[in-house]
Structure 1
Amino acid sequence: MMIRTAALALLLVSTAPPALAQTSQAHTPLPAPTSLPRPLPPIPAPQDVDYPGTIGIRVDLTDLARKVIRTRQTIPVRPGPLVLQYPKFLPGNHADTGPIQLVSGLTVTGNGSRIEWVRDTVDPHAFHLDIPAGVETIDVDFEWLTQPDNSTWRVVMTDEIVNLQWEKALLYPAGYNHSRITFAPSVVLPEGWNYGVALDTVSREGSVATFAPISLEHLADSPMFAGRHYRRVEIDPRGEDVHLNLVGDTAAAIEITPEWTAKYENLVQQADRLFGARHFDRYEFLFGLTSRLGGIGLEHHRSSENTAAPNYFASATPAFGSRGLLPHEYVHSWNGKFRRPSDELVPNFNVPTQNSLMWVYEGQTEYWGDVLTARSGLGTLEEAVVNLAEIAGFYDQQPGRAWRALQDTTNHNLLGYRTSNPWPSWMRGTGDYYREAALIWLDADTLIREATNERKSLDDFAKAFYGVEDGVWEARPYTFEDVVEHLNAVHPYDWATFLRERLDAVGPDAEAPLDGLERAGWRLTYVDELTPVEKRMMGGWANDFQYSLGFTLAGGNRIAGVRWGSPAFEAGLGHGWELVAVGDRVASAEALRAAVTAAKGGSVPIRLVIKRGDAFRTVELPYHDGLRHPRLVRIEGTRDRLADIFAPRRR
């Protein structure tokens, strides 16, 4: 059954409201702001009951100069204790990243009088109030102080574009599942602007757009890209349900050619053929062509937030990662949103999320995103192979597996949301449950193909696991056991052991999961010369000495990304040293490449002069294997299963 927004809203508001969950507590007036602190009542746990009434929310996006977003909410209430929560665990962030630090000016009134609030002393995302007798609705006003640069939080407002993420611009009553709280949203836009969003527009009067009532769960899953320069492009080969919503820094940035439109139509068609069902009433790609808005690639059930360079459509070959972004986020509609890990399916945005199945949620999405990039024509087979070579080379040379299993990296966001560190090769992190996990799914795909004489593949798993209940866009949870069961239905095998051996591998002898490459008819090797396509895709190749000396030469000849255990590491080099000289030559990437090449097969060490602050050192690196860059080469006489996997499906 197709669950559409209007029908959902009607269901929510027509249900007879039960007693307000929070009125079961005794009425205890809150202390005045000048009182000494005392224990506050506990925050009510979410219950699977309807919140009585509909919460109005109007978000004003017009203060572009100061980059301030203003919110007014009208919340039906009853007398007694009330806790309002600011979303903390944000979907797609897999961590407690709700930017409560940017909420200011919080003011609550009822019947024209101010109602004081007290912040919870344990959870700063919660605000306690006492609603006086006779007050049936309260007005809640506050500002979201968005940031002028990307140093801490990404930029979401520019003079040309606003990226509204509703969950960062609202409060909601504690004690209820977010699927049982109904919001009636509207926005105030800058004059002359238009927008893309997966909400149903009820009216547009001047600068005010009003949308159909919707649950908090789906409101938070329906971001908006609004812009001075906007275009909506139909890309659904089956009808009118999938669109590109383009916003740009300039009008020229959103000038899409018929060739690009055809590729995105192919993407939608190839996804239909892969999964065999859709789990949305419509899908809105929100695509910002901008250098001013903060970069993003974030999944939602019926839309996604994406950005690329302003010249994306004008470029002959935009970055492969940019071309693969929309396919990746589109796959999430099936994997992560419709089929969702059971420990990600929490009752509201302030219940902690767990990430134990990120290697499916993100890892298999990474795999299918790369596959659909090639099948749609957004990328070529050659580019797909080069991309796999980069991934394989990185994990083939990653020392961090000696102490940390891939499974543990799924906790990385909870340890500190995408925090940087100077030793990524040793620490491991977020990217591993994307890219290393993608190698595991390639391994599974090729195993099925080989064992069934090409009659079955991971495509069959995708259709059986994700391609059910066509039209339904309510989440369906899955567990590790569910994944194993569906793999066994495609091809009987000890899939539980197969997965756990790769996820839990740890120790000095643990190896990267490269079996799938060899089974696909390809072998990882290292070369000292690159093809034009490899140079284009490995954009920093000229400064990349990761697989030789063990570091990258960054701007200003600064040493960065020293690989743990590499020749550079063993010589005592760390992040931030400056390369001053290579032998008797002034430092440069060219001089360093020449020195590495000259030392190949010899016995004379490579001599470097380095500087940190006012201290200089001379180090000698006993390295003689030449320049090394990863490449996949065909294994003679084997079937090319990568060509099979990346080939477009005809039905």
Structure 2
Amino acid sequence: MNEVRYQLELADLAGHYLDVQLELMPQDDAVVLFTLPAWIPGSYMIRDFARHLLDIRAQDQTGPLILQQTDKQSWQLQHQGLPVTVRYRLYAFDLSVRANYLSADIAVINPAACCLQVVGQQHLPHLVEVRRGQAPQHWQLATGLPRAAETSPLQFGFYRAANYAQLIDCPLLAGKLDVASFVIDNVPHHLVLAGAVATDVQRIAADLLPLCQAQKQVFGALPADLDEYWFLTWVVDQGYGGLEHRNSTLLLCNRFDLPNPRLPAEYSEDYQNFLALCSHEYFHTWWVKRARPTPYLDYQLQAEQYSTQLWLYEGFTSYYDDLSLLRTGILTLEQYLTGLAKTISRLQRAPANLRQSLADSSFNAWTRFYRQDENAVNAVVSYYAKGALLAFCLDAELQQQNLGLDGLMQLCWQQYGQGETGSGEDTFFRLLLQYSQSDALVKKVRLWVEEVAALPLAEAASALGLELNWRQPEHHQDQSGDKALALPSMEPGFHYEVKPEGLLLTAVRNGTAAHRAGFSAGDVLIAVGQLKATEQTLRQMLLRAVPGDVLCCHLFRQQRLVQLNLLLEAAPETVAVLKALSQRTRWPGVIWSLQSAE
């Protein structure tokens, strides 16, 4: 046996159990080591998938063998040189794109979260048999794993991976599937929906086609080894997210994010957000799955694996996801600028923007960005959001030299992406110098990345034919829009959720009136100015106040009644307003007019 074999059986849908059988031929070592990844590539957080593993046992033709667990996710086996079978059961009820989920309606399988790695045999071919088990006969199966010759498309059966790395990079989606396909440069692309309500799957595929072509245009061509691509879409009542894979993506969306088949020309905001998610994950086909940081050329999935470059890979992808929607006309200019302004506003309002660098945010993603708490607004800058705005500023700088970010992306792809040689800490800056011939620009971008630095957003906007202005927020969720406020705004400086008992404070921004008054996340505000604390009451009290007024607040803290006096201050101008100044644009592929920007 010169391969590793798995059986994955949907054994107990009601109990959410996946049965796994692993067959292997031990090699020369006296001990076989097995380990399950602690994290999945693309999601930088230790998830300890092995905590869901149950009833593990091993045997050969002579009988049971002794498996000894050596740590939270690893086992070792003394063998007799005979073929070995390992069996175990996995609990699969994680409603996310990173793990496993089994129910009476759907099965989502991530091999990284369920297939033990045989240490020393990762390079061998891996054969996977997916068994229907309790799944209904009408269920189909979609995956980017190559089918064995005896398995029909969209069917349970045998699939082959060249090695363990390919196996864990191919999620599987099973259930009642709706499928539509399109072709780009002779490469079939498949949109698969599982769990959807009435929608128009052909219309979604038709919208994805130009979007994918726009992404391809950035890099010049599809990856040479891409022979098919799968948009595996898990449709739920409440959920949103995506995870990139080499020839597929696993997406999670709300069912009513998808278009209404009775409104074939409508692009609702929710549907635009879904297409932006597809755009983001498809861009990763080049930019993360092939062009990636050097540490991720060989994933070590038993512990954290650090990089300071996530701003480059996730941030630049975030810049292009909406820009591609603008280039294809899915977003109007006004809609695009509104979304960009929201990103700028969120960054401007977060004290963390002037506390954490992009390099530090990337490096500490494992314990900060992916483990955010009530102090995140003060401590964690998003390498997605600020990285996207850095790309916006860099694009503007390059456009002023009659260049552009697209050209730099193509150079990166040609130099280390298509050959998958990886980017070291200085690779991007070296290629930026080669492309721009500007030491000053490289120095500027290094400052944006490595120091706690404000980005030159107004200058970048101007260079691209835009104007960036600022105004006060009307309330704590106000992030965009060109509004003429009737009255100056007061802003206390806390975030909250509306609860039956009052307003639950979820965060307090450093340096604000609420911070100075002693408010804390977890407080439940029950009265403001002798009135019951509701969202409407708080807003009206703030509208009627002027700077220097004191608002008497009562709250519960750990079940204890507390009174605090909030000395009100004028809200700073943190809401970005972006407008087009003229008919010119330096963005390749984007045409606008003053009329469309009104």
Establish whether TM, by shorter chain, passes 0.5.
yes
Cα deviations by residue, 1:355-381 (Å, 9 ceiling, x for unpaired): 221111211111111212322344332
Do the aligned partners of 1:525 and 1:630 also contact (CA within 8 Å) in 2? yes
Tell me: CA distance 1:290–1:547, structure 2 relative to 1, closer, same or farther (3 Å): farther
In structure 2, what is the Cα distance between the partners aligned to 1:546 and 1:418? Answer: 33
**Equivalent of 2:214 in 267, 270, 276:** 270
- Structure 1 portions without partners, runs of 5+: 1-51, 539-544
- 2:356 is the counterpart of 1:404: yes
In structure 2, what is the Cα distance between the partners aligned to 1:350 and 1:154? Answer: 16
Cα deviations by residue, 1:39-83 (Å, 9 ceiling, x for unpaired): xxxxxxxxxxxxx81011110124210001111011111461221
Equivalent positions of 1:155-554 (< 5 A) are: 156-175=101-120, 178=122, 180-189=123-132, 190=135, 191-202=137-148, 203-204=150-151, 208-227=156-175, 229-248=176-195, 250=196, 252-253=197-198, 255-256=199-200, 258-279=202-223, 280-291=226-237, 295-314=240-259, 317-319=268-270, 321-346=273-298, 348-350=300-302, 352-415=304-367, 418-428=370-380, 432-452=382-402, 456-466=403-413, 475-494=420-439, 495-506=441-452, 510-512=453-455, 514=457, 515-520=459-464, 521-528=466-473, 548-554=491-497
In structure 2, what is the Cα distance between the partners aligned to 1:406 and 1:536? Answer: 22
Tell me: CA distance 1:117–1:257, structure 2 relative to 1, closer, same or farther (3 Å): closer
In structure 2, what is the Cα distance between the partners aligned to 1:303 and 1:636? Answer: 40
In structure 2, the residue matched to 1:54 is: 3
Tell me: CA distance 1:537–1:399, structure 2 relative to 1, closer, same or farther (3 Å): closer
Of 461-470 and 81-90, the range deviating more from structure 2: 461-470
In structure 2, what is the Cα distance between the partners aligned to 1:351 and 1:584? Answer: 53
In structure 2, what is the Cα distance between the partners aligned to 1:277 and 1:194? Answer: 32
SS at match of 1:144: strand
Tell me: CA distance 1:309–1:347, structure 2 relative to 1, closer, same or farther (3 Å): closer
In structure 1, the residue matched to 2:75 is: 127
Do the aligned partners of 1:323 and 1:379 also contact (CA within 8 Å) in 2? no
Do the aligned partners of 1:425 and 1:563 also contact (CA within 8 Å) in 2? yes
Do the aligned partners of 1:188 and 1:207 also contact (CA within 8 Å) in 2? no
**Equivalent of 1:594 in 540, 543, 552:** 540
SS at match of 2:426: helix
How far off its partner does 1:308 sit? 0.8
Tell me: CA distance 1:450–1:149, structure 2 relative to 1, closer, same or farther (3 Å): closer
Q: Which amino acid aligns with 2:2?
A: G
How far off its partner does 1:213 sit? 4.1
Do the aligned partners of 2:377 and 2:509 also contact (CA within 8 Å) in 1? yes
In structure 2, the residue matched to 1:23 is: none
Equivalent positions of 1:84-163 (< 5 A) are: 84-120=34-70, 123-133=71-81, 135=82, 137-147=83-93, 156-163=101-108
Tell me: CA distance 1:154–1:81, structure 2 relative to 1, closer, same or farther (3 Å): closer
Of 196-205 and 549-558, the range deviating more from structure 2: 196-205
TM-score of the pair, normalised by structure 1: 0.79
How far off its partner does 1:479 sit? 2.0
How far off its partner does 1:493 sit? 1.5
Cα deviations by residue, 1:317-366 (Å, 9 ceiling, x for unpaired): 14354331111111111111111110122255347522221111211111
In structure 2, what is the Cα distance between the partners aligned to 1:597 and 1:546? Answer: 7
How far off its partner does 1:587 sit? 1.7
Cα deviations by residue, 1:295-314 (Å, 9 ceiling, x for unpaired): 43101111011111112224
Cα deviations by residue, 1:405-438 (Å, 9 ceiling, x for unpaired): 2211112333367223111122215xx1111111
In structure 2, what is the Cα distance between the partners aligned to 1:404 and 1:439? Answer: 15
In structure 1, what is the Cα distance between the partners aligned to 2:583 and 2:255? Answer: 43
Do the aligned partners of 1:60 and 1:69 also contact (CA within 8 Å) in 2? yes
Cα deviations by residue, 1:158-195 (Å, 9 ceiling, x for unpaired): 3212111011121122235x4x2320112113132112
Tell me: CA distance 1:519–1:112, structure 2 relative to 1, closer, same or farther (3 Å): farther
Q: Which amino acid aligns with 2:24?
A: I
SS at match of 2:556: strand
Tell me: CA distance 1:341–1:75, structure 2 relative to 1, closer, same or farther (3 Å): same
CA RMSD of aligned residues (A): 3.2
Cα deviations by residue, 1:97-146 (Å, 9 ceiling, x for unpaired): 341111111111111411101122xx43221111114x1x1101111112
Cα deviations by residue, 1:484-514 (Å, 9 ceiling, x for unpaired): 23323332112442222112223xxx43553
TM-score of the pair, normalised by structure 2: 0.86
Do the aligned partners of 2:553 and 2:564 also contact (CA within 8 Å) in 1? yes
Q: Which amino acid aligns with 1:61?
A: L
Do the aligned partners of 2:291 and 2:416 also contact (CA within 8 Å) in 1? no
In structure 1, what is the Cα distance between the partners aligned to 2:471 and 2:100? Answer: 40
Do the aligned partners of 2:235 and 2:255 also contact (CA within 8 Å) in 1? yes
Q: Which amino acid aligns with 1:158?
A: S
SS at match of 2:169: coil
Do the aligned partners of 1:444 and 1:458 also contact (CA within 8 Å) in 2? yes
In structure 2, the residue matched to 1:576 is: 522
Query: Structure 1 vs Structure 2: percent identity of aligned residues?
Result: 19
Do the aligned partners of 2:7 and 2:131 also contact (CA within 8 Å) in 1? yes
- With a CA cutoff of 8 Å and minimum separation of 6, indicate the structure with the bigger relative contact order: 1
Cα deviations by residue, 1:430-452 (Å, 9 ceiling, x for unpaired): xx111111111111100010122
Tell me: CA distance 1:358–1:213, structure 2 relative to 1, closer, same or farther (3 Å): closer
Q: Which amino acid aligns with 1:233?
A: A
Tell me: CA distance 1:504–1:153, structure 2 relative to 1, closer, same or farther (3 Å): closer
In structure 1, what is the Cα distance between the partners aligned to 2:420 and 2:338? Answer: 35
In structure 1, the residue matched to 2:484 is: none
